[in-house]
Amino acid sequence: MLYEPVKGGLRLAEVDAEAMRLGLSAGQNLADARAMVPGLTVREMDRPQLEAAFADFADWHSNASPLVAVMNEVSGFGNLVLDITGVAHLFGGERPMLRLLLTRLRDLGYTVAGAIAPTIGAAWGISHFARSQVVEAGDLENILDALPVHALRLTPVQIAGLTQMGLKTIGQLRPRPRKPLQARFGLSLLTRLDQAYGMVEERMTPRLPPAERYAERRFADPIGLMDDVLMTCHDLAIQLAIRLEAEGQGGQAFHLFLYRVDHKVMTLSVNSARLTRDPQHITKLFANRSERLEGEYHAGFGIDMIRLAVSSVSELDAVQLGAFSHQGVAEDLDQLSDRMSSRLGTMAVLKTQLVASHIPEQAARLVPALAANDALRDAGWPVPPRPLRLLPMPERVAINAEVPDGLPASMIWRRDSYKIEKASGPERLGAEWWRSGQRLQLVPPRPPKKGETPPYIPNLPQFDPEAGTRDYFVVEDATGRRFWIFRQGFHRAGEPAVWYLHGFFA
Amino acid sequence: MPAPDLQQRLAALRETIADIERKPALAEARVLVEQQGSAFPVLAGGLLQEIFTDERRNAGALLGFALAQAKGLLTAQRRAVIYLQLADEAQKLGLPYGPGLLSFGLDPDALVLVRAANMGELLWAVEEAIACRAVAGVVADIGSHSKLLDFTASRRLSLRAAATGGSIFMLRYGQGRAASAAHLRWRLMPIHSARSRYDAKAPGPLRWRAELEKGALIRNQTEFVLGWTENGFTTLPAQRRHANRLAGRAALPRTVPAALADGLSQTA
């Protein structure tokens, strides 16, 4: 029995079969229910947790049909809808399929009701208000007409209104003129009615994107070892490769779904830098990926189905391998970065991309090697020497100079002091006003004359060129180490200058 | 007292054993080196090189020396250099910087950066990278000590490198030297730059001093003073070392030939 606070009072939200026999119902005040049944055990309802658990359920049911959704019109959990078009024959027909799905949930200790019907609305109504059954298109009207109006997924207000009018079953409601109904109950009532009878098409949004190309294997006995999973993955990759090859296609993203016996699905995904269908490579990527989740992998009571799906598919022509060509080199490198990314993570394998900017830390960007495209070759203007290593964050240093605005003479960095023997600079780098969100002050705004609209002045802070100005120096200490240091802002008499170390030269 | 011919045979056998015990890849390395005069040799691929420097703040020079060698290994077939670092050491050592690579003479496109989470993953990535035939060199920048970096690991990497023909450069810091199966071990220090052509106060072209601590090159030269241009190394005549440089520590011994290390009595 679950309760939740509704409109300032604690009300029962869900009741089980036994409570219903005792005369309790959902929506009842908790205090009233306690008065009727003194020994009542109740728990507070945790909707997010229920929804998450139900989402797991939905994912698990994708082993029955690729299109599974949680219906959330009535509540965020509790209703699962499967599109079984073209699937039922795999289970020996619709009736055995329904029986299989229901019994395997009942075996887990859940109370389930289900129905197979031509429309989503009818299936919902029948599963909730009739026995579990398969309804053919011909019987749909007879069965639906006999059901109470509650079976239409209506709001409590609509149901109360219909009850007041004495319309108890759908069969009584359906022949009524539609215009007055719409005026009184809104369009949603008619929509629900039409959806149930299939006059209007209703769409479902599947939780997992349907993969068109996949290979799967079911096991008579559940398997548990990761090695077995990977061996199966290799077999599936070969099956998939044969299919992709026949179609002249290759994929970039591969997903491995592991369906556990205890209604959980584990998903592993790997990406490849270039289109591929090479089963060896795909298996290797999954092997690397699985090593990364060594601790998280938990087969529970075993895995009874494995599916390998491919997405981001596009055309990939067959290539002849040449013994002496250089064509395979780029491919080898891409495969290497795939393998390393699959184990170390995508953000761990990086390439440098040059950006046309003179701010040092913005001039080079590290992008995942999988996503790297052709870099900017040359900035196009002569660039003064740049350090071989750059610190991700410049570090504060203390600098002494012989004359206040002169070349640095000594430096203290990480509590070591350095005597600077040679130095060159400054190289002055200003802030990029064209990238900043600040406005340049060019003409002072004058007070508007009478009757004149004041000029539009964007509400931005003023651009301060001094704030972003840096003076860079290349300095060499007594032992020949060479550093790249800069002073933030201009030199000002009486104010201590702020210096940073930014990089190391070779 | 055995007969003299017996002694000769014994000496010959001992020589054979020494040859077997000497690391085969190292023997090969002697052959692969091309050296002209006293210039810095062009080292072929397939070597595990350890490059040590005394302090972390020499990190720039250390990376420069490794990339300079790796650049010489780049060909149309092998067109990438993989640089590996532990992710949490980036702020200590700095990351290779694209425009800096350009001014150093290496195409930033050829360098792949790998930031591993721990030493185990880093060593895995080194091995994975060197196994790829399109990789010219692997530069592993290791700023800390780890138990995983033992003799077994270096032996494994040295065999891998010899088998695939790419070179591994292990950048290490500090004075300590653990046992390793590296083919060559360098100690690299930056020294005063040359005079700048236009400005006496400005730093000029860079200079490094590289000492070979382990392994042997053809002419048994162990000390080089190097410069670097975009086109390759320039070798300068080694100056006499300052006496005070040596005063602080004992000179590191050159590798002992295997024949002396095998524990056999040398007086037989």
Where does A277-348 show beta strands of DSSP type E? 303-311, 314-315
For residue A100, CA distances in Å to A133, B5, B50 come to: 13, 90, 64
What is the C-alpha separation between A486 and B108, in angstroms, rounded?
A: 24
Among B63, B128, B203, the residue with its CB nearest the CB of A340 is: B128
B58-83 b/e (C-beta count within 10 Å ≥ 16 → b): bbbbbbbbbbbbbbbbbeeebbbbbb
ipTM of the prediction: 0.79
Whether B94 sits inside 8 A of A503 (CB atoms) is yes
pLDDT tens-digit series, residues A287-318: 988 887 766 777 778 888 898 999 888 888 77
Q: Which residue has the higher pLDDT, A39 or A488?
A: A488
Whether B102 sits inside 8 A of A386 (CB atoms) is yes
Q: Count of CB atoms within 10 A of residue A422's CB?
A: 22
Is the pLDDT score of B84 beyond 90? yes
pLDDT tens-digit series, residues A355-369: 888 888 888 888 888
Q: What's the whole-number mean pLDDT along residues A224-242?
A: 91
Q: Count of CB atoms within 10 A of residue A100's CB?
A: 13
Quick one: what percent of chain A has pLDDT higher than 90? 16
In a domain, B101, yes or no: yes
| pLDDT of the residue at B256 | 45
Query: Could you tell me the pLDDT band of residue B258, with boundaries at 50, 70 and 90?
Result: very low
Interface residue B98 vs chain A (CB under 8 A): yes
What is the residue extent of each domain of chain A? 2-44, 47-197, 213-319+327-339, 389-504
Minimum distance, in Å, between the CA of residue A118 and any CA atom of chain B: 54
Is the pLDDT score of B25 beyond 60? no
Among A388, A389, A480, the residue with its CB nearest the CB of B191 is: A480
| pLDDT of the residue at B244 | 42
Minimum distance, in Å, between the CA of residue B223 and any CA atom of chain A: 18
Chain A residue numbers touching B128 (CB-CB < 8 A): 336, 339-340
Is the pLDDT score of B37 beyond 80? no
Whether A387 sits inside 8 A of B203 (CB atoms) is no
DSSP sequence for B98-146: HHHHHHHT--GGGEEEEEESSHHHHHHHHHHHHTSTTEEEEEEE--S--
In a domain, B192, yes or no: no
Query: What crossing angle do the helices spanning B151-164 and B119-130 adopt, rounded to 10°?
Result: 20
Q: Chain B interface, mutation test: which of A340, A393, A397, A424, most B Cβ atoms within 10 Å? A: A340
In a domain, B206, yes or no: no
Whether A348 sits inside 8 A of B114 (CB atoms) is yes
pLDDT tens-digit series, residues A433-481: 887 777 776 666 667 777 777 767 667 777 777 777 899 999 999 999 9
Residues in chain B: 268
Residues 137-156, chain A, touching B (beta carbon < 8 A): none
Chain A residue numbers touching B79 (CB-CB < 8 A): 329, 333
Quick one: what percent of chain B has pLDDT higher than 90? 40
Query: Could you tell me the pLDDT band of residue B248, with boundaries at 50, 70 and 90?
Result: very low
Give just the sign of the alpha carbon dihedral B77, B136, B70, B218: negative
What is the C-alpha separation between B229 and B113, in angstroms, rounded?
A: 23
Interface residue A412 vs chain B (CB under 8 A): no
The neighbouring-strand residues paired with A269 are A255
CATH number of the domain to which B122 belongs = 3.40.50.300
Among A363, A383, A506, the residue with its CB nearest the CB of B60 is: A506
Count up the domains in chain B and report the number: 1
Whether A329 sits inside 8 A of B124 (CB atoms) is no
Q: Which fold has domain A2-44?
A: MutS, DNA mismatch repair protein, domain I (3.40.1170)
* Paired tokens of A424: 């060159």
In a domain, B234, yes or no: no
What is the C-alpha separation between A336 and A349, in angstroms, rounded?
A: 10
Chain B residue numbers touching A337 (CB-CB < 8 A): 112
The mean pLDDT value of chain A amounts to 83
* Paired tokens of A197: 């009878």
Q: Which residue has the higher pLDDT, B216 or B260?
A: B216
In a domain, B252, yes or no: no
| pLDDT of the residue at A356 | 82
For A284, name the nearest residue in chain B, comparing CA atoms only.
B128
Chain A residue numbers touching B225 (CB-CB < 8 A): none
Among B99, B109, B114, the residue with its CB nearest the CB of A349 is: B114
Q: Check for a shared fold between A2-44 and A213-319+327-339.
A: no
Closest CA to A226 of A288, A166, A276, A180: A288
Interface residue B206 vs chain A (CB under 8 A): yes
Q: Do A125 and A147 form a contact (C-beta atoms < 8 A)?
A: yes
The torsion of the CA quartet A354, A355, A358, A360, rounded to 10 degrees, works out to -50
Among B121, B128, B203, the residue with its CB nearest the CB of A424 is: B203
Minimum distance, in Å, between the CA of residue A2 and any CA atom of chain B: 46
In a domain, B119, yes or no: yes
- Residue A4: enclosing H or E segment and its boundaries? strand A2-6
In a domain, B233, yes or no: no
Q: What's the whole-number mean pLDDT along residues A422-438?
A: 85
Interface residue B203 vs chain A (CB under 8 A): yes
Name the residue range of residue B132's domain: 44-187+212-221
pLDDT tens-digit series, residues B135-193: 999 999 999 888 899 999 999 999 899 888 899 999 999 998 888 888 889 999 999 99
Minimum distance, in Å, between the CA of residue A434 and any CA atom of chain B: 22
Minimum distance, in Å, between the CA of residue B222 and any CA atom of chain A: 21
SS3 sequence, A75-107?
CCCCCEEEECCCCHHHHCCHHHHHHHHHHHHHH
pLDDT tens-digit series, residues B42-58: 788 888 999 999 999 99
Second CATH level (architecture) for the domain A213-319+327-339: 2-Layer Sandwich (3.30)
| pLDDT of the residue at B261 | 45
In a domain, B37, yes or no: no
Q: What's the whole-number mean pLDDT along residues B28-34?
A: 50
Whether A348 sits inside 8 A of B115 (CB atoms) is yes
| pLDDT of the residue at B266 | 43
Specify the amino acid at residue B213. Answer: E
For residue B257, CA distances in Å to A161, A441, B20, B223, B262 come to: 101, 76, 12, 20, 9
Query: Could you tell me the pLDDT band of residue A1, with boundaries at 50, 70 and 90?
Result: low
Minimum distance, in Å, between the CA of residue B11 and any CA atom of chain A: 48
| pLDDT of the residue at B22 | 56
Query: Could you tell me the pLDDT band of residue A396, with boundaries at 50, 70 and 90?
Result: very high
Is the pLDDT score of A281 beyond 50? yes
Q: Do B60 and B51 form a contact (C-beta atoms < 8 A)?
A: no
Beta B111-116 vs A349-354: how paired, if at all? antiparallel
Q: What's the whole-number mean pLDDT along residues A140-146?
A: 84
Whether B189 sits inside 8 A of A366 (CB atoms) is no
Interface residue A285 vs chain B (CB under 8 A): no
Q: Do B237 and B225 form a contact (C-beta atoms < 8 A)?
A: yes
Give the SS3 label for residue B150.
coil
Whether B98 sits inside 8 A of A363 (CB atoms) is yes
Alpha-helical regions (H) of B119-226: 119-130, 151-164
What is the C-alpha separation between B124 and B119, in angstroms, rounded?
A: 8
Interface residue B103 vs chain A (CB under 8 A): yes
Whether A336 sits inside 8 A of B134 (CB atoms) is yes
What is the C-alpha separation between A255 and A285, in angstroms, rounded?
A: 11
Minimum distance, in Å, between the CA of residue B163 and any CA atom of chain A: 17
Interface residue A408 vs chain B (CB under 8 A): no
* Paired tokens of A85: 């078009």
Minimum distance, in Å, between the CA of residue A484 and any CA atom of chain B: 11
Whether A480 sits inside 8 A of B77 (CB atoms) is no
